[in-house]
A and B are shown apart, each in its own frame.
Chain A
Amino acid sequence: MTIGLNHYLVVSIMLFCVGLFGVIVRRNLLVIYMGLELMLNAANLALVAFSRFNDNLDGQVFVFFIITVAAAEVAVGLALIVALYRKRQTVHAEDLTTLRL
């Protein structure tokens, strides 16, 4: 049996679910961020697979832009985490309850 689009999509959705599970379950902000990266990578894999099996390179250009935006997002997000740690001395999501009524 040859490897088709469906195989890659199944891998992509499993990777996405692992990332989503990490974002919901873990309480460390840094690990939550890594879960976000996993979800972005799952989307990239799906896009590249679609591009390959539809004979169209536009999907790969899109993935290129996603990687660039993800790099910028990681830089800003980690700077926010560092600023937060400086102010509150924690990177634990349960300790950040300022907005709670």
Chain B
Amino acid sequence: MENFFFYFFAALTLIFAFLVIANPFSNNPVTSAMFLVLTIASLAGLFVLLHAYFLAAVQVLVYAGAVMVLFLFVIMLLDLKAEEERHIRAFGLGAGLISVGAIVSIFLISLLKAPLLSNPAPIVHGDTLALGKLLFNQYSLPFEIVSVLLLVAMIGVVLLSKKELK
């Protein structure tokens, strides 16, 4: 049963991810954003299979909720009618295929040399309690620093969005 769900969610993730970047039916960024939401939702399914329940919830809340709403707002804010007619160039396609092939070959070589790790360790449950304990004891300093980072990002966005940049 778990095997079936793994292959199901993995296939969904990859198909939707491919439709994000190369949709044969539409070149519209809104379609890409919608498929990105589906990709992230199926990735959350994979997280549940890995017993990372808290991260699956955060993935749906933060990515599929907040980040994608931001994306859609910006897409609707910009008037992108004229952009739809352009096509993918052969040079870009070649460069993309070469770089992707290089990365895949590096990965395959390292995977074949590594020992097979297929027997799972005793299950570690990534629920809210366990993760919260770790986050507020061992990782409390990075947690606070991240909150400062969010503040900096917020101030930066407000400054960037002002009418005249000085």
How many angstroms between the C-alpha atoms of A9 and B32 in the bound complex?
A: 25
Tell me whether B51 and A52 are in contact (CB under 8 A).
Answer: yes
The answer to whether A6 and B116 touch (CB under 8 A), given A20-B96, A27-B92, A48-B55, is yes
How many angstroms between the C-alpha atoms of A38 and B35 in the bound complex?
A: 11
Contact of A41 (CB < 8 Å), options: B40, B58, B99, B156:
B40
Could you tell me which B residues sit within 8 Å of A by CB distance? 2-3, 6, 10, 13-14, 17-18, 20-22, 29, 32-33, 36, 39-40, 43, 46-47, 49-52, 54-55, 58-59, 62-63, 66-67, 70-71, 74-75, 77-78, 80, 83, 86, 88, 92-93, 95-97, 99-100, 103-104, 107, 111, 116-124, 126, 130-131, 134-135, 139, 142, 146, 149-150, 152-154, 156-157, 160-161, 165
Further pairs besides A21-B97, A61-B131, A64-B131: 13, Cβ < 8 Å: A18-B17, A18-B18, A20-B99, A21-B100, A25-B88, A37-B36, A48-B52, A51-B52, A57-B126, A71-B62, A72-B149, A76-B153, A79-B157
